[in-house]
Amino acid sequence: MPSRIVGYNVPWWRERAVVIDLSQTFDAVTHPAALDLLRRDVASLAAYFSRHGVTADVDRALTDLDASGRKFARQWSR
């Protein structure tokens, strides 16, 4: 999973969005902040594309990605 994804790294190709440029990645299942980072990136992408006239529903995207939290490591409480 990319550590920070931005809109210009998600071109539209063959009727779907494709993520490119994954130079900085981490394990999306075991990283303790994976779910928070995914939520941040989905919200960031939605904001980016809305500025270009594309409607994006962050909650639906997270549901479609099955980002409920049960697949991700939990953050440690300090």
- pLDDT of 78 > 50? The answer is no
Q: How confident is the model at residue 71 (pLDDT cuts 50, 70, 90)?
A: low
Token digits for 33? Answer: 């902040």
Whether 38 has a pLDDT exceeding 70, the answer reads yes
Q: Is the pLDDT of residue 55 over 60?
A: yes
Q: Which residue has the higher pLDDT, 25 or 58?
A: 58
Question: Which residue carries 């809305």 as its tokens?
Answer: 50
- Cα–Cα nearest to 5, from 63, 61, 75: 61
Average pLDDT on 43-58 reads 89
% of the chain with per-residue pLDDT over 90: 12
Burial-class residue 42 by CB neighbours within 10 Å (0-12, 13-18, 19+).
buried
Angstrom distances, CA of residue 68 to CA of 27, 34, 62, 63: 17, 12, 8, 7
